[in-house]
Chains A and B, each alone.
Chain A
Amino acid sequence: MAEIVAALLTSHAPLITGKPEVSKPEQRDRLYGGFHELRRRLAAARPDLIVMFVNDHIQNFPYSNMPAFCVGLAEAYDAPSPGGSRLMRIAPRKVRGASEWGRALLESGLAAGFDFAYSYEIESWDELSVPLHFLNPEGNIPVAPVYTNCAAPPLPTPRRCHEVGAFVGTFGRSRPATERIALLATGGISHWVGTPETGRINPDFDHRVLDHVTRGDSEPLIRLTHAEIERDGGNGGQEIRNWIALLGAVPGWKGEVLAYEPVAEWITGCATVWVHP
């Protein structure tokens, strides 16, 4: 059996790299420190690929054709594109895609009743670009993204996201024995983006989420409704679906919070978490 050698949860926000100078230095240092420690551990785990649970920001999937779950089959991902790089202040680059892995996941999923959409071309926004800037700086580890609709309601339920993640985990472990798989979910925690409450962060909600993650207890997260997340975590909080999917892939694993900072200037409750077997 293939092995899941690493599991990581992080936030993503364009301003983490786009405007580092506006944040409080101590907050920025702690959060960047969390990313650097994740990178050190990830490199030590020597993964062959990174399976990423992420979401689009209506950069790729428009309201004329909105998938609930979409497997990326691209040979490479703009992370970021030249357009995105201006805001995120990261040099434009392509990150190699694990397209064969994605194709196998897609076919296996369809056979098992997980009706994934698929895409051969994805322009990443901050969901890949910002965390991979820290975690895969050379871009030499290929990525296989699984996109979940977290941004254009109605959204798939947290329970379904957990089931999809569980399937991805089972599929991953069924791969050839030599394969070493890292899982990375990005998004959340609380943030209000583009709404009349833009800039609000709710540390109470964030700590609640992190407590469940630390205990390896997905069930309270799975039971959250769209309305509860919107109320307590904001529209950006809906991205914890990506975290919930990852937790579904590694049942019983427990999170170690390396950093949590509610960074007002980046309008996001930001965390970096390593998840242990």
Chain B
Amino acid sequence: MIRTSYVLNKILTALARQHTMKDKLTDDELVGHDLSDAERAALKAGDITGLYHLGANPYLIRRVFRSRFPI
């Protein structure tokens, strides 16, 4: 079973729908979301591998953190 984090996907979906690309997210952008410490740290670092393992959807990771991918 593939891990899914609803809160990560909710945050990333909102950004993807605005066609917004990010290098990393800030605390201001995460206000009001019930994130684990690991989830918050991964979003703030733009840690694409960490986000994947925490249950963010890879299509959303790619859309939002495009600049983090070497290809």
Residues of A within 8 A of B71 (CB): 198-199, 264-265, 267
- In the bound complex, how far is the Cα of B34 from the Cα of A48, in angstroms? 50
CB-based contact A58/B10 at 8 Å: no
Q: A58-B13, A194-B62, A265-B71 are known contacts. Are A83 and B52 too (CB-CB below 8 A)? A: no
Residues of B within 8 A of A194 (CB): 48, 52, 57-63, 69
CB-based contact A153/B2 at 8 Å: yes
Among candidates B1, B13, B18, residue contacting A63 with C-beta atoms closer than 8 Å: B13
Give the nearest-CB partner of B17 in chain A: A59
**A contacts, CB < 8 Å to B:** 57-59, 62-64, 81, 83-84, 86-87, 151-154, 193-196, 198-199, 230, 235, 264-265, 267
Among candidates A63, A84, A193, A198, residue contacting B9 with C-beta atoms closer than 8 Å: A63
What is the number of contacts between chain A and chain B, taking CB atoms within 8 Å? 66
Residues of B within 8 A of A235 (CB): 58-59
26 pairs, A vs B, C-beta closer than 8 Å: A57-B63, A58-B13, A58-B16, A58-B59, A58-B60, A59-B16, A62-B10, A63-B4, A63-B9, A64-B10, A83-B18, A152-B9, A153-B1, A153-B2, A153-B4, A193-B58, A194-B60, A194-B69, A196-B48, A198-B58, A198-B62, A198-B69, A198-B71, A199-B70, A199-B71, A265-B71
19 extra interface residue pairs, beta carbon distance < 8 Å, beyond A58-B16, A64-B10, A198-B62: A58-B9, A58-B13, A58-B59, A81-B19, A83-B19, A86-B19, A151-B57, A152-B9, A194-B59, A194-B61, A194-B62, A195-B52, A196-B48, A196-B52, A198-B58, A198-B69, A199-B70, A235-B58, A264-B71
